[in-house]
Chain A
Amino acid sequence: MTLIQAVFALLAILTLGAGLLTVLSRHLFHAVLYLILSLVGVAGLFVLLEAEFLAGVQVLIYIGAISILIIFAVMLTRGMARNPGPPLNNQSLAAAVIAGLFFVLLAPVIAGFPWPQTTQGVPADAIEALGRSLVDPNQFALPFELASVMILAALIGAIFIAREKR
């Protein structure tokens, strides 16, 4: 096992273990903390995949913004945190069977498929090419602008929905 593979195994265990604790932990606040740990693991896997920009964005957006938003929601619904009750509903066994069966079906397909493998490395200007392709009219300029309109609509909608009605 090479060093890279050892690092991969560590990050994979971190991601999956924290993910599992996210869906299983009794206290919602602990679940958020485990979610953050799992997102850190995914960011590390992005670094291993040489997608440094995405790793940075993952830390900024997911760990910096979305998890803070979730912590706010947990704090604002504190009545639930005081009296949590059972964290899982009565169909949790069936859910576990379905999720496990899904993985059991996926895993042999993934492991058995002869994936083509390129020997190409990531070009040195990959981040510059990514930035240019986002504003290039022939590539992703339109989806990029649509995404910004969508996120504006989502923000206005969120403010409108969560606002105190008189």
Chain B
Amino acid sequence: MVPLSWYLLVAAALFCIGVYGVLARRNAIAILMAIELMLNAVNLSLVAFWRYLHPTMTTGQVFALFVLVVAAAEAAAGLALIISIYRNRETVDVENIDLLKG
């Protein structure tokens, strides 16, 4: 059997990859994709905890499902914002989206 810590290490590595993507990418859509990677890492660790600590309870899976719902809503709203910004400013490069900069 695979130890629990292996799953958690994979989830941690995936989360760190997502952190790097959010901090380093210039394209707003790429940043959104990195956020999806981070949400997936969290889901992976939630399901791993469910399987290894309390497999008879449903809580772990329900939490993962709610994370998925929030991810879907976030993707829909975020991409709508990006398309709206692109329509108004002809760019999705976050370096150039600085309307609120003083």
Contact = CB atoms under 8 A, between A and B. Distances in A.
B99 interface: no
Contact of B79 (A22, A73, A129): A73
Q: Is the interface of B mostly helix, strand, loop or mixed?
A: helix
Interface in B76-91: 76-77, 79-84, 86-87, 90-91
Nearest to B68: A61
Interface residues of A, number: 90
B62 to A, nearest CB: 5
Nearest to A46: B47
B52 A115 contact: yes
**Most interface-central of A15, A86, A120 (chain B CB within 10 A):** A15
Interface residues of B, number: 74
Contacts of A162: 79-80, 83-84
Contacts of A117: 4, 52
A130 to B, nearest CB: 5
9 tightest A-B contacts by CB? Answer: A23-B21, A95-B23, A154-B73, A158-B80, A99-B20, A92-B24, A162-B80, A95-B24, A103-B16
Interface of A: 2, 4-5, 8, 12, 15-16, 19-20, 22-23, 28, 31-32, 35, 38-39, 42, 45-46, 48-51, 53-54, 57-58, 61-62, 65-66, 69-70, 72-74, 76-77, 79-80, 84-89, 91-92, 94-96, 98-100, 102-103, 106-107, 110-111, 113, 115-118, 120-123, 126, 129-130, 133-134, 139-140, 143, 147, 150-151, 153-155, 157-159, 161-162, 164
